[in-house]
Amino acid sequence: MSAEQIVAFIQWAVSSGLIAAGVFFVFVGAVGVLRLPDFYTRLHAAGVTDTLGAELILMGLMVHAGWSLDTLKLGLIGLFLFLTSPTSTHAVANAAYTAGLKPLVGRFRPPRPGEEADDEGGAS
């Protein structure tokens, strides 16, 4: 196996690993948005999707593209997302808090089937 092949293999492995990690975090975020009890915790899960998941996928794509103009462009997209998605998460949380939505504190008891679902923090 030549040196070039080894480099190509490492590139493939690193980029695949990063993309797989990104997909994992996007999946975790999606599950979190569906399963977590109140608005703020769901927002936390959505933030994971935006920031960590998308950034990892972009980093994987950057490694995959190698040294080229595409890498620079992907890097710029990554920088843009890195600035905007935490900001939007912050803005949404801030707006919700200002609007008077109280975070759910204490023990969470999941609604049982047949019971009325307590959707206090959810629909807003």
Partner 1 sequence: MSSNHHLVLRVVAKLLIPAIALFAFYVQFHGDFGPGGGFQAGVILAVAVILYALIFGVDEARRAVPPWLVRAGCAAGVLIYAGVGVATLIGGEAYLDYDALGPEHHHGQHLGILLVELGVLTTVASVMLAIFYAFAGRAPDIPDEEW
Binding mask 27-56 for partner 1 (x = CB under 8 A): ------------------------------
Q: What's the chain look like in SS3?
A: CCHHHHHHHHHHHHHHHHHHHHHHHHHHHHHHHHHCCCHHHHHHHHHHHHHHHHHHHHHHHHHHHCCCHHHHHHHHHHHHHHHHHHHHHHHHHHHHHHCCCCCCCCCCCCCCCCCCCCCCCCCC
- Residue 6, token pair as written in the block: 């080894």
Q: Cβ of residue 98: shortest distance to partner 1, in angstroms?
A: 5
Q: Does 69 bind partner 1 (CB under 8 A)?
A: no
State which residue, 21 or 82, has the beta carbon closest to partner 1.
82
Q: Of residues 6, 20, 72, 91, which one binds partner 1 by CB under 8 A? A: 91
Stretch touching partner 1 by CB under 8 A, among 4-12, 52-60, 87-95, 115-123: 87-95
Query: In the complex, which residues of this chain contact partner 1 (CB under 8 A)?
Result: 80, 83-84, 87, 90-91, 94-95, 97-100
